[in-house]
A and B are shown apart, each in its own frame.
Chain A
Amino acid sequence: AQKVTQAQTEISVVEKEDVTLDCVYETRDTTYYLFWYKQPPSGELVFLIRRNSFDEQNEISGRYSWNFQKSTSSFNFTITASQVVDSAVYFCALSGLMGYSTLTFGKGTMLLVSP
């Protein structure tokens, strides 16, 4: 069975602070995919990133960066210089072989960035 744990239920920061959202996963699959989605108050889930289990390179996209560590089964997400518009619920998700495995989501971390 697959499991995704986002231990941080809610994080509050002040604008321009850096913030890291933690994600720990469990799977027996040797090939799997990890995702981060953002859910603003409007409700729509916005895709942010997908990583393959065989590619442990970290990635940076603007103010966003992701740290994938297979040894600790973690896929953490960092927002640098946070902005009020970053306020949302962030979900980490896991899937097995595409087409045969659906997404397993963590419970989400609510990020509140105040001015």
Chain B
Amino acid sequence: EAGVTQSPTHLIKTRGQQATLRCSPISGHTSVYWYQQALGLGLQFLLWYDEGEERNRGNFPPRFSGRQFPNYSSELNVNALELEDSALYLCASSLVVQGAGETQYFGPGTRLLVL
């Protein structure tokens, strides 16, 4: 069974540009999570999508946005890029089953470098 996939693996942008990151969840999973792992800041929750809706959002400015498509894949958009947006962006997927708990499985990540 294929795991979570992310594209591209690496992305180089300049300040002020926009970046689009993509994520395909494990087959059957309906929830997609995005996390940012910046140097020295650890893993920080960005966004959570489930069944096409944004369910929760971390403490990030509105220029971080995304969406989830009918096939449950997801896109993260970062507008007006700033140098401090340089980080590893990790996507995770899960299937919420009532009473059975939930485990998030992560993809390999997209390394974004803003110059």
Contact = CB atoms under 8 A, between A and B. Distances in A.
Interface in B47-86: 48, 50, 56, 58
Contacts of B88: 43
B45 A99 contact: no
Interface string B10-29: 00000000000000000000
A71 interface: no
Contacts of B33: 102-103
B48 A47 contact: no
Contacts of A104: 45
Nearest to B9: A43
Among A33, A37, A44, A91, residue most surrounded by chain B Cβ atoms (within 10 Å): A44
Chain B interface size, as a band, is 20 to 34
Contacts, number: 52
Chain A interface size, as a band, is 20 to 34
B106 A37 contact: yes
A45 B90 contact: yes
A105 B50 contact: no
Interface string A99-111: 1001111111000
Interface string A28-53: 00000101010000111111001010
25 contacts: A33-B102, A35-B103, A43-B88, A43-B90, A43-B111, A44-B106, A44-B108, A44-B109, A47-B105, A95-B102, A98-B101, A98-B102, A99-B31, A99-B50, A102-B33, A102-B45, A102-B48, A102-B56, A102-B58, A103-B33, A103-B104, A104-B45, A105-B43, A107-B42, A108-B42
Interface of A: 33, 35, 37, 42-47, 50, 52, 91, 95, 98-99, 102-108
Given A47-B106, A50-B103, 4 more contacts: A52-B101, A91-B43, A102-B48, A105-B43
